[in-house]
Structure 1
Amino acid sequence: MDRVKKEQLVAELHEKLQRATAAILTDFRGLSVAEITELRDNLAQQGVEFKVVKNTLMRIAAKGTGAEVLEPLLQGTNAVAIAYDDPTVSAKILKAFGKTNDKFQVKGGVLGTRELTVQDVLALADLPSREELLAKLLGTLHAVPTALVRVLGGVPRAFVGVLAAIQREKENA
């Protein structure tokens, strides 16, 4: 690869790392092309890019981004999953893929500017997605006014019940 192409690749990768909400570094050694393609397709369906990167180009591209903390992990064969929206999606897919492919390993990652260990990435995979959290929040916000209306409606209902009981007493007397 000539110098111009390398510079263009580094600039493109740098821009992607700056926009990313999360980047997860993986070791794909021992996987077949078909397996990597399957993983790349699964990630792409969720808007996550999966790129095989040379360590030196990744080091240069990561300068000035949150992914700079990944530099100690840049040894051996590496691919990076770059998520732009929900960081849990990429972690979930990588974790599931790792369960079915023993050779695949997550090395670590970065969430914003915070470095993630392998355990952190796996914990991130166990978190609910953004949509699930928003649905839970909406349910909670909806429950509070509903309960308030129910309580406020109970007072007049009880009052009407008391009046009906008084009327029955007068009729029976």
Structure 2
Amino acid sequence: MARRKEFSKKDILGAAFEIACRDGLEGTSMRKIATLLGSSVAPLYISYTNREELIKEIVAKAHNEVFKFQEEKISENSYYQRGESLLLVAKKYPKLFVDVISYDSKNEPDQKLISTLLSIMRKDDKLCNFSDNQLLRIHSKIDLFIFGVISALYSGLLPSDATDKYLLDLIRTTQDDIVTGEIKRNSL
């Protein structure tokens, strides 16, 4: 009898992420992953007890992609670069991006992700004096706007001449407007 193939979690996650980028989270099955790896599904269950455990890791990897884009451009206003990172990830992985947003909205917030976001926000001179609740409110407003821009992009609602430069400028100026509004509201 042939020896059963073994794969590392990294190999399995890599194959799963590739499928999720192409087919979305719903289209990512253990059978498709096994086929891509040239195996049966049995070796996958050595590393992952079920599909949902693997889906959580795919979502975490997608979040890490946003931070990876951001880390490549770290500066004093790295939180603002998150908008650019989200736009780039959304364009690179459109199907997965939509699914991850939907997944996040249906599940408990990832406390590690929230801590990372708050830490990044606190590094910005304009944001460092806000409380956690205020930062989360700012973050929610900015995310709603960015996701709206991305939804408009996916839906074809933006002008045909809307370049990445235009969209990034729109995101940056709106982020500034939101933060300036919160600063003014705080000083009242």
TM-score w.r.t. the length of structure 1 is 0.27
TM-score w.r.t. the length of structure 2 is 0.26
User: Whose RCO is larger (CA < 8 A, sep 6+)?
Assistant: 1
Is the radius of gyration larger for structure 1 or structure 2?
1
Q: Which has the higher strand share?
A: 1
